[in-house]
A and B are shown apart, each in its own frame.
Chain A
Amino acid sequence: MPPMLTAAPSFDVEKVLASIDTMAAQKPVAAQIVSVANSDDTSARELAQILGSDVALAGRVMKLANSAYFGMRGRVTSLQFAVTVVGFTTVRTMATVALTDLDDESRLPANFWRVSTSVGLAASTLAPRFGERPQDALCLGLLAPLGIALLHHDDPEGYAALTATERTTAARRAAEVRRYGIHALRLTAVALEQWGFPRSMVAPLTGVDDLGAEESALLRGALEVAARLATDDEPVPVERLTCGLLREDALPPVIDKVRAEAEELRLAMLGQ
């Protein structure tokens, strides 16, 4: 296996990107939501109307709106109101999940949702300290590992071998670059940019490797929280990851909160 991984990129990232277009064609409703959701002149009514034609997705949005995460306790009874409650970015995130088959756990790397909900919750919990909207941060965190799914999708065996060999996040990222010419988070950035997600969601992913990039500080902090929960990685001092915006002593309560809520959010996102 190692020789294959260290060899010159045999994998064509172009193929992955092309598959994104194919996905859109297969799930037109989700694709349409992804493209209109964050337009300033989109209303909850329009969005609900489009959403209504995808029963499975609409059901998931309703379930999420009534989940403990939003605190509405079953009082969300119309799709339009559900859209209002969860917010347009979240609807779009869920459409993206549907579009990229992230809702089918059998086709995802193990722990995928555990990681993505952890990153999402960590980002949303930490957001106020970084002056960011918690809800946008949640969506960014949830979608950040999207690139992993895309790589896994197109190269299941190769990606499985890669994750089996490389035990730490940093080593895995380096291996991804070697094998695919791009690592998963950057791939997420490319995909989101292609789907027209706002710059506020793309830029943090683009700059994630640059420790000086302040706009990526929140995402790096959230990824670190998820890593401490899910991996054996040596902890990286969070102050260094977040341009000094977050101190180590602020982390334990966030980790506790994320640990407590991640499973519930996973179920809500997957409509289970």
Chain B
Amino acid sequence: MSASTVPAGSSVSPEIVSSIFYGVTVSDTLALLVAEMVGGTPRITWGNEGAVRLLGYAAEDLGALPVSTLVPTLRGGEVKLLLRRERAARMRLSVRTASGAFVESVVLSTPSPTGRMWTLRVVPAASEQERALRATADAHEQRFATLTERSPIPTLLSEQGMRLAHVNDAFCSLVGLRSEQLLGTGWMSVVHPEDLDAVIEQVVVVLGGGDGEARARLVRADGSERMTVIRFAHLFTPGVGAGFVGTIEDITQRLAFEARLAHQANHDPLTGLPNRTLLAQYVSARFRPGGSGLACLFLDLDNFKVVNDSLGHGAGDELLVEVAARLRATVRPGDLVARFGGDEFVVVCEGVGEAEAITLAERIGAALAVPVRLGGVDVRPRASVGVTAQTAEHAAAEELIRDCDIAMYQAKTGGKGRITVLDQQARAEAREKLLLVAELRDAIERREITLLYQPIFSATDGTATAVESLARWHHAGRGAISPGTFVGLAEESGLIGGLGLLVLDETCRQLADWDRTLGVAAPRRANVNVSALQLDANLLPQVIAALDRHGLSPSRLSIEITESALMKDPASAREVLAGLRALGVQLAIDDFGTGYSSLAYLRHLPVDCLKVDRTFVAELADGHTEIASAVIALARSLGLTTVAEGVETAAQATELAQLGAGFLQGYSLAPPMTGPDTAAWFAAR
């Protein structure tokens, strides 16, 4: 403070000056006062210009003002708290100005070394800027509070450990309690006791600065439970410590929905029984290789198709539901009853041997045999049952089910309504078959199935006009495998599509090859056999693609279909054949006369040729010409040509020509040959 700031005319004692210099670094902007004890009362004895400006007193009025008038909130002896003899003091006080208004201030008092005089520095506490900042912070907090309060998401806020400082309405209504009951650690009692540890674990992580979530059941006031996911976020308040914000998602309904979906995925909707998927899981979970005690019963209802066809699908469903109920009621508690598919059921038992499993199968048979009334008719359900008890030879769970499936088929073929235990012989055969299927699949993929071609001759002039493609499989270890075996196997195991395509494509390729090497001497047509299972909408595009690939006209191909294949689904067969016929491909019915074809259907089928079966040809040698001649006559009257198969002798050939057969085929005329041999054979003629 410079001398010019001292009010004019006032005398300032050296003590005052020294006390000021002792106490503070002086500036004009500061409000400074000096207080001293006057007659036992502390009074202001001096003030600077800053003090005059702040307090509104004239400099002369300041002198002798009791300190208690300036800071009236210090009552009684409390002025002493500010005016300490030994040390400086700092107090936040309301300082009264001349107008009577109060200024919130921090007052710092410093005693002089004598202890009789104090320097007081008055610093107004909250500047406008501070107040504005504070107001903004309050507004932010208010907005945040409003946001969470009205938020539909249940929200918790902790500022200390597990202690909640705030819960919103959504959380209160989720658990059915008032906020007062939940604040502090009250909310911990709504967390299911078994889940509380996990929640605290997550809180520990979150208080340490991480994020976390916990799945916890919350127990509502009414005792019901909600499954929730609590997501925690770290919350740090400077100078206070760490807490968390928790938001809660009620996943009870979602879980219930998922559980329903999971149940639907694993159960049959009609009977409510576990389905094949669950059965597989169930058996896998209990199967120990090399162990024993697990047994499976495979049931197939006999004549279920008859019920469905005669009484309708509604009655069929009713029967399945009734059978399911009887099975459940008959098995031991803990046994699994599953619907394997269609009219097939599987029962799995634990801790039983073969004998007990057979006893159970008999009990089931007896329970099923009680008549059930369907559509006004009493039906006596019967089932063929295959039984398998686990042995050391079962290496995997699927083998157990597969074995009892095989046993059931044996029961079925042995006459319905039987119980069959899979014997070792059947087991070995089944394994053999499985192995062969795998090898057949490989053979098809590697095109190891080869084709032989047998020439077909005109009965009138003996010229060879066509060939029939015949598939052959020469197995590296087993030698030649008969087409009857491997075609049947392919049909059973879903490989027939691949096999058929191979034959079709290879035949077309060979025809094109012959065209190139033999020119006009090449066979005019190749006959390709098609299985009943290939007779669908895919066949036409496959034929078109094969012809295109090898640049052949449709007339070079004849498709042979067995009579029985045509009769499986005559309507759709007719449609497929019509498409092929329209394309220009010839169609022949193979083995005609061996099946039970309806002649009426035959008239409507778009075919060109009937193949007379070799058995009727063979009968000619015994003087029985009736069937062969009838077939040939029938073909002629329908405008169809005929090919007689299995012609073994010249006499047969002559007789067939006399009967009017169009074409002949047989080992004696020409055996099946490889592609190159066939080329050589045609070239030689």
Contacts and interface: CB of A to CB of B under 8 A. Distances in A.
Contact of B159 (A42, A87, A199): A87
Contacts of B670: none
Interface stretch (B239-247, B586-594, B649-657): B239-247
Contact of B85 (A9, A14, A21): A14
B568 interface: no
A14 B90 CA distance: 14
B138 to A, nearest CB: 10
A68 B185 contact: yes
Given A40-B238, A85-B207, A88-B239, A9 B77 contact: yes
B278 interface: no
A70 B166 CA distance: 15
Interface in B192-234: 197, 200-201, 203-204, 207-208
Contacts of B638: none
A57 B90 CA distance: 28
B86 interface: yes
Given A69-B185, A75-B200, A128-B183, A87 B160 contact: yes
Given A9-B77, A14-B84, A181-B76, A75 B204 contact: yes
A182 B188 CA distance: 43
Contact of A180 (B77, B91, B163): B77
A44 to B, nearest CB: 7
Contact of B163 (A13, A71, A88): A71
B239 A128 contact: no
Interface in A53-76: 65, 68-73, 75-76
Contacts of B208: 81, 84
Interface in B369-418: none
A134 B163 contact: yes
Nearest to B197: A73
B90 A135 contact: no
Nearest to A81: B208
Interface centre among B76, B179, B184 (most CB of A within 10 A): B184
A70 B86 contact: no
Nearest to A198: B239
A40 B200 contact: no
A135 B162 contact: no
A136 B208 CA distance: 21
A169 to B, nearest CB: 18
Nearest to A124: B184
B77 A182 contact: yes
Interface stretch (A93-101, A104-112, A186-194): A186-194
A90 interface: yes
Contact of B161 (A72, A128, A181, A194): A72
A116 interface: no
B240 A89 contact: yes
Contact of B86 (A14, A89, A90, A203): A14
A124 B238 CA distance: 20
A72 B202 CA distance: 11
Contact of B81 (A21, A44, A73, A190): A190
Interface in B73-119: 73, 75-78, 80-81, 84-87, 89-92
Interface in A164-200: 177, 180-182, 186, 190, 193-194, 199
B165 A134 contact: yes
A40 B207 contact: no
B111 to A, nearest CB: 11
A115 interface: no
Nearest to A88: B241
Interface residues of A, number: 51
B77 A73 contact: no
Contacts of B73: 206
A128 B85 contact: no
B77 A13 contact: yes
B92 A128 contact: no
Given A81-B208, A87-B240, A177 B184 contact: no
Contacts of A117: none
Contacts of B159: 87, 133-135
B165 A128 contact: yes
Nearest to B142: A131
B180 interface: yes
A65 B180 CA distance: 22
A202 interface: yes
A115 to B, nearest CB: 20
A23 interface: no
Contact of A72 (B92, B166, B200): B200
Given A14-B86, A75-B200, A85 B80 contact: no
Nearest to B164: A134
Given A9-B77, A44-B241, A86-B160, A21 B87 contact: yes
A199 B168 CA distance: 29
Nearest to A82: B161
A139 to B, nearest CB: 11
B163 A70 contact: yes
A125 interface: yes
Contacts of B184: 124-125, 134
Contacts of A149: none
A154 B86 CA distance: 18
Contacts of A136: 240
Nearest to A42: B239
13 contacts: A18-B87, A41-B238, A71-B185, A85-B207, A87-B160, A125-B180, A128-B166, A134-B160, A135-B165, A135-B240, A177-B77, A182-B78, A203-B92
Q: Which 3 A-B pairs have the closest CB atoms?
A: A181-B77, A71-B162, A87-B241
Interface of B: 73, 75-78, 80-81, 84-87, 89-92, 159-163, 165-166, 179-180, 183-185, 188, 197, 200-201, 203-204, 207-208, 238-242
Given A128-B180, A182-B77, A182-B78, 10 more contacts: A18-B87, A70-B160, A70-B162, A75-B201, A84-B241, A86-B241, A136-B240, A193-B91, A202-B92, A253-B180
